[in-house]
Amino acid sequence: MLNKNKFEKVLARVINKNSNRCSVCKTPFSGPCHTFGGLDADSKVQNVGQCCRSNIVDLRHGGAYTTAPVGTDEGERQARELMASHPCARRMM
């Protein structure tokens, strides 16, 4: 079992390696979307889209993929809207 700090460190590496795609099926995110980080059945850290959400057996992180850079007004708007409507929004508060 990974503690929170180790999980976040590994998740950051997974996101960096698969920044614009699902880490399980490698399908590119089609546009701004919700992402889900957690452990799969093999206890591997994954960051997935809706396509592979069912592969996550221990959901630990809800995120957002934006098509505009987050440092821009459009990117910030996309991120805010996605996080506000995220299926895991209550868990992340």
Q: Where in the chain are the domains?
A: 4-92
CA trace torsion 46, 10, 5, 43 (10° rounding): 50
Q: pLDDT tens digit string along 33-46?
A: 999 999 999 999 99
Burial 63-73 (b: 16+ CB within 10 A, else e): bbbbeeeeeee
User: For 3-54, how does the pLDDT look when each residue is reduced to its tens digit (9 = 90+)?
Assistant: 999 999 999 999 999 999 999 999 999 999 999 999 999 999 999 999 999 9
Cα torsion for 43, 86, 53, 59, to the nearest 10°? 20
